[in-house]
Amino acid sequence: MIVAVYLFAIQIYGDFCGYTDIARGVAKLLGIELTTNFRQPYFSRNVTEFWRRWHISLSTWLRDYLYIPLGGNRHGSLNTYRNLMATMLMGGLWHGASWNFVIWGGLHGLFLALHRAYSRGRPMPQVKAWWDFFGVFATFNLVCVAWVFFRADGFDQAMAYLAGIAAATGGIAPGVALAGIVYLPATLLIDLPCWRYEEQHPFRSHWPYWGRGILYAAMILAMALIGPSDVRPFIYFQF
């Protein structure tokens, strides 16, 4: 069951980041430069960094028009934690009038407050590479826990799903396994070089044109063979 949660994390990221990139590409053809909305969020080392990389237009709006007007971090730690929680709760409500969205926002508010409390005045560890790996792993899994509430049709369904994960029940359908084999490495192939070199394009410009061409062709072929045959609306169109 946990594989399905991971795949939903990839699905919603590919869905939202994909149509954002389409919009940015079309705008660029018209000479308009739109802001970047995603910067490899699943490589974030903590939840604070995640919200600097995920849905940047929304997180910036929440910061500028909710968090800062509420007082931001100007009036002590307790008020800062309150402001973080209130901002993310309202961010959850922005997605819809559902308790699941409220819980999703509340979880992120809690994660942000806990990270801020933990990191205050704490020196960086000596073995930074291992610490970064642990941070990315922990952050991704915390985000995936919150995604369960975002995706479920109701609170009872979300809790039942989390209980199934805790009990390690459920199997993996062949189609789901195949999707995992294809899409998870593809996401890494695209995002890892961008994150490593702080670039927007996964295949660096100094690579030979034929190498980039082969990789692009392989990715298009994989999408044609593995992707759904019917037309499905973008997930984020409902928000």
**Does 131 or 136 have the greater pLDDT score?**
136
- At a CB cut-off of 8 Å and minimum separation 6, what does 103 contact? 92, 149, 155, 158
> Quick one: average pLDDT of 143-172?
87
- pLDDT, greater one: 195 or 142: 142
Per-residue pLDDT tens digits for 218-229: 878 877 776 666
- 95 is known as an active-site residue: yes
Confidence of residue 234 (pLDDT cuts 50, 70, 90): confident
Q: How far is the C-alpha of 97 from the C-alpha of 95, rounded, in Å? A: 7
pLDDT at 202 over 80: no
Q: What is the mean pLDDT of residues 4-21?
A: 89
In contact, 239 and 15? CB cutoff 8 Å: no
> How far is residue 7 from each of residues 25, 30, 184, 230, 235, measured CA to CA in Å?
26, 34, 8, 19, 14
pLDDT of residue 227: 67
Q: 155-166 and 128-151 helices cross at what angle (nearest 10)?
A: 140
Q: Give the predicted TM-score (pTM) of the model.
A: 0.85
Q: What is the pLDDT of residue 126?
A: 58
Taking the C-alpha atoms of 167, 172, 44 and 205 in order, what is their torsion angle to the nearest 10 degrees? 170
Give the pLDDT mean for 4-29: 90
- The percent of residues in the chain predicted with pLDDT above 70, rounded, is 85
> Among 19-28, 62-71, 160-169, 203-212, whose mean pLDDT is lowest?
203-212
DSSP 42: G
- C-alpha torsion sign, points 210, 215, 220, 224: positive
Select which of 55, 75, 95, 201 is catalytic.
95
Is the pLDDT assigned to residue 80 strictly greater than 70? Answer: yes
Average pLDDT score over the chain = 85
Instruction: Please write the tens of the pLDDT for every residue from 32-46.
Output: 999 899 999 999 999
Q: Please give the pLDDT value at position 214.
A: 86
- What local confidence, expressed as pLDDT, does residue 12 receive? 92
pLDDT of 145 strictly over 90? yes
**Res 70 pLDDT > 90:** yes
Choice among 4-13, 85-94, 177-186, 211-220 with the minimum mean pLDDT:
177-186
109 burial (CB, 10 Å; 0-12 / 13-18 / 19+) is: buried
pLDDT of residue 158 exceeding 70 = yes
